[in-house]
Amino acid sequence: MSEDLKLTILKRLDSDGLIESTRVAFKDVPEETVLGALKSLESQEKVSYKTLTTEFWTIEPEGKDQLENGSYEARIFAAVPAGSQGVSMKDLEAQFGKVAKLGQGKCMAEKWLKKDGDMLVRLVDSVVDQVKANLEVVNAEGMHPDPSVIKDLKRRKLIKANKILSYAVKKGADFSTELKKQATDLTLEMLQSGAWKSSEFKKFNFDSLGVNAAGGHLHPLMKVREEFRQ
């Protein structure tokens, strides 16, 4: 799969000159597989690439509840009968639990309801559940065109941010559609046959640090000598 993918990337670059997004070009291939192929091609200077980060939003559990059943404020408003009769906060809390207080506060801020003694009564005949409408947009599109809406939904912990990684790819300094197996060592056979002249060698990173050598152990006789010295 890896070799086939690398060839596919090279052929796409050969025909199009540029891959704007690997997520679009290779949507059925996992991004980690694409990245592995790109790193291998980059080490051969056949391609260069840069990382693209796309942010999208998903609905949190509390948001899903409001997406399906309406926002807290819309539910509380709907539970208050029209006219001056109203309903007590105690009755709302018995019916809705913690949602009652959260929804009531938002209704008051939006001037949908007012307090009349111990009762909540309507100030308007009907309302638009904009929170639910906004959640429907985010659920369908992964975003919302109004940044202030995203900010509000995030503040209310109804949505969360996620990131998608993709890669923009262009031709490298040694671009070609031919893949050669790179040699990792110069062998005696290569020197004797002259094959080293046409071989392509994998580049070495001379700046990398080697593995720390483990400490050795004293010979038993040396241990005895150390004991006498001490």
CB 33: neighbour CB atoms within 10 A? Answer: 13
Sheet strands side by side (includes 159-171): 18-19, 159-171, 47-59
Confidence tier at 203 by pLDDT (50, 70, 90): low
- Cβ atoms of 100 and 89 within 8 Å: the answer is yes
Residue type at 17? G
pLDDT in tens, 100-158: 999 999 999 999 999 998 899 999 999 999 999 999 999 999 999 999 999 999 999 99
Residues whose CB is less than 8 angstroms from the CB of residue 149 and which lie 6 or more positions away in sequence, other chains included: 134
Does 58 score more than 80 pLDDT?
Answer: yes
Q: At what angle do helices 61-69 and 130-141 cross, to 10 degrees?
A: 120
Model pTM score: 0.62
Does 92 score more than 90 pLDDT?
Answer: yes
